A and B are shown apart, each in its own frame.
Chain A
Amino acid sequence: MSRVLEVDGLKKHFGGIAAVDGVSFHVEEGEILGLIGPNGCGKSTLFNCILGQLTPNSGEVKVDGRVVTGLRPCELNRLGVSRTFQLLQVFPKLSVRENLILAGQEHRGTMVSRLCGKPDAGLGEAAEEMLRFFRLGDLAGEAAGGLSYGQQKLLDAAMAFMGGPRLVLLDEPAGGVNLTMLADLKERLTAINREKRATFVVIEHNMEFVMSLCARVLVMAEGKVLAEGRPDEIRANPAVIEAYLGH
């Protein structure tokens, strides 16, 4: 099994405050890693550093053995890393199908083919398949802004997978989603992980969601890794309980 993601000694500070203070971990291919921790522990900053949204002050990020620290988000995406967002980031004025085509178009062909070729960049089939998989089929032509919150969340996830990524970072996918949708979401994520051997890292506050979805969990507190292990180990870890209750 290869290591899809390796983070080594990552540090990021703002002014005098260290948001991420020397974090190291790795993720194996096909794994679903959970990332939890109390508010302000640095999870989002860590994500943003891995994804190129922020430039870390020191440390290294490797994807499939290749150093990617400091690359721009679009370059990372083209190397097979994609993400979902905490706050919804679909394109409301485009239709659901258009959103999916947009999500996949940079992964096919060249700049020239994107100008002179088909308007849907040859992604019509792939978009249909993704719509079917996430059960958004009958909403294909609807403007994305008109979908319900839960449906938009599914679309957001679908967009993250259009490019056939190796690694997907999910930022609070369960946030604000009702129980039925949640079950759906979990089921779909598990399915795609199985079928495509996609590797996930999931930030979540919903303990139930994380513990049932993830095989391994990483706990952060105050910018550092506090504990790492299987969900049941983490749940029983006194330091973890302390970190959460202490806040």
Chain B
Amino acid sequence: MHLAGRRRRAGRRHGGAMSNLLDLLIAGLATGAIYALVAIGFTLLWQTSQTINFAQGEFVMLPAFLMLGAMHAGAPFWLAVLIGAILSLILLGLGFKLLLVDPMLRHGVLPLAIATMALSLGIKEAVKQFFSAEASPFPSIVPAGDVEILGRAVSLQSLGVFVVAIVAVIGLNALLTRTSFGHQMQAAAQNPTVARIIGVPVERMILLAFLINALIVVLAALLITPIYLAKFSSGETLGLAAFIAAIVGGFNSVRGAIAGGLLIGIVDNLAAAYVSTQYRAAVPLILLIAIILFRPQGLLGRREERTV
């Protein structure tokens, strides 16, 4: 991943294996924070409506292309971002829930999961056809360049991405666990029947969860696309990272998604440096298999009541 590459070059300027490690950790935290963001959205959808969204990676990829499309039509960046965000809210929030999830949910969790797999294929192909099969550059919301921290050059982009993502993550966590709104959403998620009885607007909460996820993926798109460029296939790796983060952290908790995301980001970047480039993608996968083997509830998850 290009982030690590840039980091290593900067590190070598100042020399030392230790500084190398630090660079990798910082870069890892930056990508990890984005993974955490996407994983939170994924977990949120699962918790509130039993939706396993296999298209989550494509959900992050699409807003970038919507914005690029607006820019090609002549809109300035800020307007394109706005247009892209609104379109994403409508398509990936409202549209996704009303047109796909609601009709499919009555058939069960598994058919819905499979429908999202078909959706991921559809979005990927649509982008490939309507935009391009090639990678396109994407403007960054954070300026380029380096800043000096504790005598080391740290890429402003890494730092900016990390800060924005972490703020969003902390904000989301606070929203979902400390506000009354969050408590209502948790209640709607854990026990909709009881929640309805005590007056929680369950249907509205579920819809809001979808809208929040749409906003999450828009933000993730803005943060990650400048780094990895906009490509129709970028949803695959990102989606996989989000799933692994959610499971490793603990499928049922937002804090788990955060911890999992950061861990995967760090592990991934360390692997890029210390493991052969060919197999670096294997490390998070092996971590996933290990977690499922030894601690299936995830690092921060609760042991589930056994029903079989």
Contact = CB atoms under 8 A, between A and B. Distances in A.
User: Direct A–B touching in the complex (beta carbon < 8 Å)?
Assistant: yes
B217 to A, nearest CB: 34
Contact-residue bracket for chain A: under 10
B286 interface: no
B73 interface: no
B308 A54 contact: no
Contacts of A53: 307
Nearest to B306: A55
A72 interface: yes
B148 interface: no
Nearest to B305: A54
Contacts of A55: 305-306
B305 A72 contact: no
Contacts of A72: 308
A237 to B, nearest CB: 34
B172 to A, nearest CB: 26
Interface residues of B, number: 4
A52 to B, nearest CB: 9
A175 B308 CA distance: 26
Nearest to B308: A72
Nearest to A14: B305
Nearest to A55: B306
A55 B18 CA distance: 49
Nearest to A54: B305
B203 to A, nearest CB: 26
Contacts of A54: 305-306
Nearest to A70: B306
Nearest to A72: B308
A54 B308 CA distance: 9
A47 to B, nearest CB: 15
Nearest to B307: A53
Contacts of B308: 72
A212 B306 CA distance: 36
A71 to B, nearest CB: 11
A72 B308 CA distance: 7
Nearest to A52: B306
Interface in B268-308: 305-308
A80 B289 CA distance: 37
A85 B308 CA distance: 16
Nearest to A48: B307
Nearest to A74: B308
B90 to A, nearest CB: 39
Interface in A38-84: 53-55, 72
Contacts of B307: 53
A72 B306 CA distance: 10
A160 to B, nearest CB: 19
A55 B304 CA distance: 11
Contacts of B305: 54-55
Interface in B114-162: none
Interface of A: 53-55, 72
6 contacts: A53-B307, A54-B305, A54-B306, A55-B305, A55-B306, A72-B308
Top 6 A-B residue pairs of the complex, sorted by shortest distance between their CB atoms: A55-B306, A54-B305, A53-B307, A72-B308, A55-B305, A54-B306
